[in-house]
Structure 1
């Protein structure tokens, strides 16, 4: 394989413009880019963006140079403007095939090398002067075209799985509203209450710092995903005095509520349904319910748009460090539908979670295949 400096592989388009009102409809910021996908599914701004932005053309590769460790790369879906914290890249087609170019930029082979030259501590950023001299190996153009066909086919299948996962999540939310309605309308005339009326125990987790070793597994804020799932792929450990264990020990059926984070992430909620002993909650509110309410019912209510907006309005503190205390959490109004109906919904939720898990496993396998193909043909 031949080796090239990055400036021989790509153009860095630096054309800029000061946005006008109509540009807000075709603005893409770094917040609109999702790691792990080349597709842009969100765009636009409520008002015209402030400050100069990069001009992008449909098909350009958008690369987040700020906090590049987030690995945000996407293909521009239309002509418009892009965040000045990114780069607008175009292929030099005598060296790299245009269909292979986005796949190359989104590869770990490219991104890992680029991340290493990031500068700055709070918001590490990649400078073009450093990036342009990095060297990469590329296969011949004919091989790139063949490789692109295979990778785009795998990519298309992965995107279809992601759509199915999203559809499953949306189905659960729709079914929740159809079965129970919402507290502000109470279309079925269920009993009204507050969370305080139906809990048996509400406790703050420990504020002691976690470590890499300890007797107990330590649940942190990032163990609760934005869509209301428990993610135990990365956990810490902790040792705490025996007299403090009971107040923050987590058991199956506990609802976990993220009490502090940015305004976007505070209020993340999930149910601990693991048969895993010796687990301690960190900066999380741990909630236990009596016989009238299932934790899955409350968790789902707080994870649909209605609940997220409710929690957002309860936040106090700075945008980057908002808080919801346990007392305010317990003041949330709820409906108390018949237990039989709650159990039906729990069964629906279990089936949906099973389907999502199977799709996610298939997605992981495809991602592994995708990365293996890349690693075998690059570098």
Structure 2
């Protein structure tokens, strides 16, 4: 394979403009880009963005150069403006196929190399003067075209699975609303109360816990944004008894720190070693009260976008250390349905989770195939 400097592969468009009012409808910020997908599903701003922004055209490849470790790459879905914390890239078609180009930019081969040259500590950023000097190996144009055809076919299937997974999550929320009403409302006249009265928040570690046993240890990366908690890691009690959050089987974990909270990290703790777990201090714990609340009912409340956006408004702290205070959860207004209805809903949630798990397994296998093909043909 031939080796090229990045400025031989891509054009870095630096055309800028100062936004006017109508530009808010076609504005893309880094917050609109999602890691792991080239598709843009969110865009726009409530007011015209402040400061100069990059001009983008439909089909341009958008790359988040700030905090590049988040691996945000997308294809511009329309003409508009893009965050100055990104790059607008276009292919040099004598070197790289235009259909292969976005797949190359979103590959770990390119991103891992780019991340290594990030500068700065709080918000590491990639400079073009450094990026343009990086060298990458590329297959010949004919191979690139064939790769693009195969990879886009896999990518389209992966996106279809993601849509099905998202639809499953939305179905669960719609079922919640149908059965109980939107969180914070009382359409069935059960009476409004507070979340703090429906569960025990941040319960204390019991005095009689066996200090000779090992227990599940759950760090923040072990909790997904779709309700999965990996409880497979075990640690002896002596290593976790101090400085970690205590929780137990069927407790609900809620990530309180930015950006984990906004991203939806949380879930119902299941399969804990000896029924007990310890984990990150950045979790709030919601413990259901027997005969009063069900863990899956509690968890779905925390997954509504309004619950999270309202939580964001009351976060305390600065920068990357902003957290949701426990008072937000304790004072959150909620109607309390009969436990029998909650348990019926929990059955539906578990069934949906099973279907979602099967979809996620299929997606994982496709993703592995996609990455294997990339690895075999790049670098």
TM-score normalised to structure 2 length? 0.88
Moved more, 93-102 or 233-242: 233-242
Structure-2 residue corresponding to 1:34:
34
SS of the aligned residue for 2:253 comes to strand
Q: How many residues align?
A: 369
Q: 1:16·1:54 contact (CA, 8 Å) conserved in 2?
A: yes
Question: Residue 296 of structure 1: CA displacement?
Answer: 1.2
Aligned to 2:58: 58
Equivalent in the alignment of 1:257: 254
The answer (yes or no) to whether the contact 2:217–2:278 under 8 Å persists in 1 is yes
Change (3 A) 1:349 1:235: same
Change (3 A) 1:179 1:18: same
1:71 and 2:81 equivalent? no
Residue from 226, 229, 232 that aligns with 1:231: 229
Q: Specify whether residues 233 and 65 from structure 1 end up closer, same or farther in structure 2 by C-alpha distance, changes over 3 A only.
A: farther
Residue 273 (1) aligns with residue 245 (2): no
Contact 1:103 1:148 in 2 (8 A): yes
Aligned to 2:332: 332
**Residues 184 and 221 of structure 1: is their aligned pair in 2 closer, same or farther, counting only changes over 3 Å?**
same
Give structure 2 stretches of 5+ with no counterpart: 206-212
Larger displacement relative to structure 2 (288-297 or 351-360): 288-297
Please state if 1:287 is matched with 2:279: no
SS at match of 2:36: coil
Distance in 2 (CA, whole Å) between partners of 1:71 and 1:248 is: 30
> Hey, what does 2:44 align to over in structure 1?
44
List per-residue Cα deviations over 1:23-82 (Å, max 9, x = no partner): 111111111111111111111111111111111111111111111111111111111111
Tell me: CA distance 1:239–1:157, structure 2 relative to 1, closer, same or farther (3 Å). same
Change (3 A) 1:94 1:258: closer
Residue aligned with 1:257, SS: strand
Q: Deviation of residue 241 (structure 1)? A: 8.1
- Counterparts of 1:15-164 in structure 2, within 5 Å, are 15-164=15-164
| Per-residue deviation, 1:312 | 3.6
Do the aligned residues in 2 keep the contact of 1:218 with 1:238 (CA within 8 Å)?
Answer: no
Partners of 1:68 and 1:124 within 8 A in 2: yes
Please list every run of 5 or more consecutive structure 1 residues that lacks an aligned counterpart in the other structure: 206-213
Q: How many angstroms does 1:179 deviate by?
A: 0.5
Deviates more, 1:184-193 or 1:25-34: 184-193
SS at match of 1:203: coil
**1:164-183 superposed matches below 5 A:** 164-182=164-182
Partner residue, 2:210: none
Residues 1:15 and 1:204: Cα distance change in structure 2 (over 3 Å): farther
Contact 1:226–1:268 (CA<8 Å) still a contact in 2?
A: yes
Give how far 1:259 is off.
3.8
Q: Per-residue CA shift, 1:245-300, capped at 9, x if unaligned? A: 9x954221112233444595398542212243352143223332221211211221
TM-score (norm 1): 0.88
Paired with 2:376 and 2:76, the residues of 1 have a C-alpha distance of 28
CA distance 1:108–1:236, change in 2 (3 Å): farther
Greater displacement, 190-199 / 23-32: 190-199
